[in-house]
Amino acid sequence: MRLSRYLALSGVASRRQAEKIIAAGRVQVCGAVITLPQHRVKAEDRVTVDGRAVKPVVKKDYLLLNKPSGFLSTVKDTHGRPTVLQLLGRTGTRLYPVGRLDLETTGLLLLTNDGELAYRLTHPRFGVEKKYRVRVKGIPGPAVLQKMARGIILEEGPSAPAKVRLLRRSRKSALLEIILTEGRKRQVRRMCAACGHPVEELRRTGFAFLTDSGLESGSYRRLSGAEVRRLYRLVGLEQQGSS
């Protein structure tokens, strides 16, 4: 199989992130540094990442975390800041966030060692919806909401169409619901800022069909087998996941 897929199945990272790890020269196959994600790996090959041997994961795990503010959505931080893994304690498996929520953003974050599923859940091609509650400064009018829904020109190009609606307004701010099918870095914040309505508070309330109902801030739960199978079907994977 392709080296990038081998790393994803080994729980190293999502397939997209695995490609970056390979390109950085951190992966060796049978003692040789490999920088091409498409390199073919045999079952008997010894694969290491940063000197640590890895093999495809047999038991897969899927956790849904209600992330509080002040935690990074990463495995480790070079500056010693707290990460979401510190909220999990010992889970028995090495898990990685599916996509990211920035430091201040709260809400749903999926963590797993199932790299193939993680790749499909975050790739825009599969159209998996992420729902956000967003408090912004000022009151966006209908024209602004339509502009955000059609797509905003960002530094790297236009954002994909989104679903945007006004939920409530107060004297100086408004509460919006924004549903995206892509996940660029700080996308919601950048979209709102580009329209003249900076984000004051941001929370992810939905990921695909998963919601934050009954999940307190800082707590997590394992997905049920039925939920994992539904995620697999959603992104067109035939292999049944297990929890």
Same domain, yes or no, for 143 and 193?
Answer: yes
Same domain, yes or no, for 119 and 220?
Answer: yes
Query: What is the number of domains present in the chain?
Result: 3
Q: Are 153 and 190 in contact (CB under 8 A)?
A: no
Question: Whose CA is closest to 84, among 102, 72, 100?
Answer: 72
Dihedral sign (CA 157, 19, 205, 235): positive
Classify residue 240: in a domain, yes or no.
no
Classify residue 161: in a domain, yes or no.
yes
pLDDT level of residue 97 (50, 70, 90 thresholds) = very high
Please say if the pLDDT value at position 110 is more than 70: yes
Please say if the pLDDT value at position 240 is more than 50: no
Same domain, yes or no, for 119 and 147?
Answer: no
Beta bridge partners of 51: none
CB atoms within 10 A of CB 210: 18
Same domain, yes or no, for 96 and 163?
Answer: no
pLDDT level of residue 16 (50, 70, 90 thresholds) = confident
Supply the CATH number for residue 39's domain. 3.10.290.10
Q: What integer pLDDT is reported at residue 141 of this predicted model?
A: 95
Classify residue 162: in a domain, yes or no.
yes
Please say if the pLDDT value at position 160 is more than 70: yes
Same domain, yes or no, for 46 and 70?
Answer: no
Longest dimension (CA), the chain: 65
Classify residue 23: in a domain, yes or no.
yes
Which residues constitute the domain of residue 8?
3-54
Supply the CATH number for residue 109's domain. 3.30.70.580
Please say if the pLDDT value at position 59 is more than 90: no
Q: Is 102 a catalytic residue?
A: yes
Classify residue 8: in a domain, yes or no.
yes
Residue with tokens 């000197």: 51
Task: Give the pair of three-digit tokens for residue 172.
Answer: 């100086």
Please say if the pLDDT value at position 5 is more than 70: yes
What is the tens place of the pLDDT at every residue in 125-158? Answer: 999 999 999 999 999 999 999 999 999 999 888 9
* Residue-averaged pLDDT of the chain: 91
d(CA 217, CA 62): 18
Dihedral sign (CA 27, 28, 33, 34): negative
Residue with tokens 């790996």: 41
Residues sharing a CB contact under 8 Å with residue 58, sequence separation 6 or more, in sequence order: none
Which of 45, 50, 61, 102 is flagged as catalytic? 102
Same domain, yes or no, for 30 and 147?
Answer: no
Same domain, yes or no, for 191 and 92?
Answer: no
Same domain, yes or no, for 32 and 85?
Answer: no
Residue with more model confidence, 89 or 114: 114
> What are the two backbone dihedrals, phi and then psi, of residue 192, each rounded to the nearest 5 degrees?
-70, -40
Please say if the pLDDT value at position 112 is more than 80: yes
Q: What integer pLDDT is reported at residue 92 of this predicted model?
A: 65
Average pLDDT over residues 195-207: 97
Same domain, yes or no, for 15 and 75?
Answer: no
Residue with tokens 């580009």: 194
Same domain, yes or no, for 134 and 200?
Answer: yes
Residue with more model confidence, 53 or 90: 53
Q: What integer pLDDT is reported at residue 56 of this predicted model?
A: 85
Classify residue 239: in a domain, yes or no.
no
Please say if the pLDDT value at position 236 is more than 80: yes
Please say if the pLDDT value at position 241 is more than 60: no
Please say if the pLDDT value at position 243 is more than 60: no
Q: What integer pLDDT is reported at residue 79 of this predicted model?
A: 84
Residues 183-190: contacts with CB under 8 Å, at least 24 apart? 183/99, 183/100, 183/122, 183/124, 183/130, 184/154, 184/156, 184/159, 185/100, 185/102, 186/102, 187/154, 187/159, 188/132, 188/134, 189/102, 190/152, 190/154
Same domain, yes or no, for 136 and 195?
Answer: yes
CB atoms within 10 A of CB 57: 18
Classify residue 80: in a domain, yes or no.
yes
The full DSSP string for 123-134 is SGGG---EEEEE
Same domain, yes or no, for 37 and 71?
Answer: no
Classify residue 17: in a domain, yes or no.
yes
Average pLDDT over residues 66-92: 87
Supply the CATH number for residue 192's domain. 3.30.70.1560
Q: What integer pLDDT is reported at residue 93 of this predicted model?
A: 75
